[in-house]
A = this chain, B = another copy of it.
């Protein structure tokens, strides 16, 4: 099956928005082993739209058009498709009923602008939109099935899942491809490839392997194209999870914060954070996970030295003697946070995010970490390269990972603590 994508909208051409819909469509059809053969993006230009529909439909079996279904004058998809198919635009009763229900739900009148969304190419079929006002619609031109979809990502997604992919699977008797994504942290793509080559030399050809760095984690993709090899999956999935060991976070979409919350829940341990240079990012990422309140008691963002003293009871003379970025202070922060909260585990960080505040002895990027359980606190010093944003993001990633490892009782020193140690230490 040859499939083309036609995206339309001036905002796409002006660079005001970055297109994420074509990525969503490509990943959705990939499940069946199909790919996008050609993608064209144009502005809100009726004659250009018509000629692109004619050109792409002549060369492909399926054409998905995305965008231009809205109520305003620059939404031209219905008109362009009608012209390309040489049919009239007519009121479509199913679309009108959908619009009436949608307006009733929002308690707004059905105005002329919205009514436009019920006027569609004659004989087209409706693609239900469970969320927005604009229904999708499909028609046949030449030998090509054309499907028109809305540009709003959260409306496109359910239409793809519920209608478009099943329709394509039926018409083109697609066979589902089995894809599994595993998420890891602390290993690079090339290291992973090497580990697998060396330790799993009999990796089966039937399962193709892919890697993708999606900072700060890395994704390992296992793809099985032939259904008869599906039974192999469980075995090799387990082998790779064993190989990943302490670096394994979970399956697709598992973030570092989610893995940390899961590990804390599994261990029945509560956690507290004491942050200086990360400024609350560790607490914020933990609390973005639904259900985090079961294990996350709270956190202190002690940015000013006075706050380190008043909230975490860090001794003033430790700050004076060793400086705020020191092992003595980070340990006192961790101990103070445990004492104040009664939590089982802690992560404390103090460092220099930059761009200012660095010195020869403690350059921008320096940070002291302290983590662990009450009577087993560990400390480390790191130098994190990059700008302020990268510093905070990597420090947060490592901090979450150290909490996860603590909850899981992992004893090995993570690679990132070996590599990033300050050369002078």
Residue ranges of A at the interface with B (Cβ–Cβ < 8 Å): 12-20, 22-27, 30, 35-43, 48, 212, 273, 278-284, 286-288, 290-293, 296-304, 306-307, 310-311, 340-342, 353-357, 388-389, 392
Q: Given contacts A18-B18, A298-B303, A304-B298, are A290 and B340 in contact (CB under 8 A)?
A: no
Cβ contact within 8 Å between A14 and B38: no
Tell me the bound Cα distance from A60 to B35 in angstroms: 28
Q: Is the CB of A13 within 8 A of B42?
A: no
Is A303 a contact of B310 with CB atoms below 8 Å?
no
Whether B297 contacts A300 by the Cβ 8 Å rule is: no
A135 to B12, CA, bound (A): 28
Shortest distance between the CB of A6 and any CB in chain B (Å):
10
For A302, the chain B residues whose CB sits under 8 A away are: 298
Q: A310 touching B38 by the CB < 8 A rule?
A: no
Q: Is the CB of B19 within 8 A of A15?
A: no
**In the complex, what distance in Å separates the CA atom of A246 from the CA atom of B308?**
35
A27 to B12, CA, bound (A): 11
Q: Is the CB of A14 within 8 A of B41?
A: no
In whole Å, how far is A53's beta carbon from the nearest beta carbon of chain B? 14
Q: How far is the CB of A179 from chain B (nearest CB, A)?
A: 11
Task: Select A392's contact among B212, B278, B288, B300, beta carbons within 8 Å.
Answer: B288
B288 touches A284 (CB 8 A): no
By the criterion CB–CB under 8 Å, are A298 and B300 in contact? yes
Given contacts A288-B279, A303-B287, A310-B340, contact A15 B27 (CB under 8 A): yes
Is the pair A311, B300 in contact by a Cβ cutoff of 8 Å? yes
Distance (whole angstroms) from the CB of A345 to the closest CB of chain B:
14
Contact between chains at A301 and B298 (CB < 8 Å): yes
- Tell me which residues across on chain B come within 8 A of A40, comparing CB atoms: 38-41
Q: Is the Cβ of A26 less than 8 Å from the Cβ of B13?
A: yes
Shortest Cβ-Cβ A-B pairs, 3 listed:
A279-B287, A15-B26, A280-B283
User: What residues of B have a CB within 8 angstroms of the CB of A392 in the complex?
Assistant: 287-288
* Contact of A301 with B287 in the complex, beta carbons under 8 Å: yes
Question: What is the minimal beta-carbon distance from A27 to any residue of chain B, in angstroms?
Answer: 4
CA distance A36 to B45 in the complex (A): 12
Tell me whether A19 and B16 are in contact (CB under 8 A).
Answer: no
- Are the C-beta atoms of A39 and B37 separated by less than 8 Å? no
In the bound complex, what is the Cα–Cα distance between A206 and B36 (angstroms)?
43
Interchain CB contact under 8 A, A23 and B27: no
Q: Within 8 Å CB of A37, what residues of B?
A: 13, 42-43, 48
Query: What is the minimal beta-carbon distance from A182 to any residue of chain B, in angstroms?
Result: 16
From known contacts A40-B40, A286-B279, infer whether A35 and B23 are also in contact, taking CB-CB under 8 Å: no
- Residues from chain B with a CB closer than 8 A to the CB of A341 are 304, 306-307, 310-311
- Asked if B41 and A13 make an inter-chain contact with CB atoms under 8 angstroms apart, the answer reads no
Question: Nearest residue in B to A287 (C-beta to C-beta)?
Answer: B279
Whether B288 lies near A388 (C-beta < 8 A) is: yes
Q: List 11 A-B contacts (CB under 8 A).
A: A13-B35, A16-B23, A17-B23, A278-B287, A279-B288, A280-B280, A290-B354, A293-B304, A296-B304, A297-B303, A298-B300
With A290-B355, A301-B283 known as contacts, the answer to whether A42 contacts B48 (CB < 8 A) is no
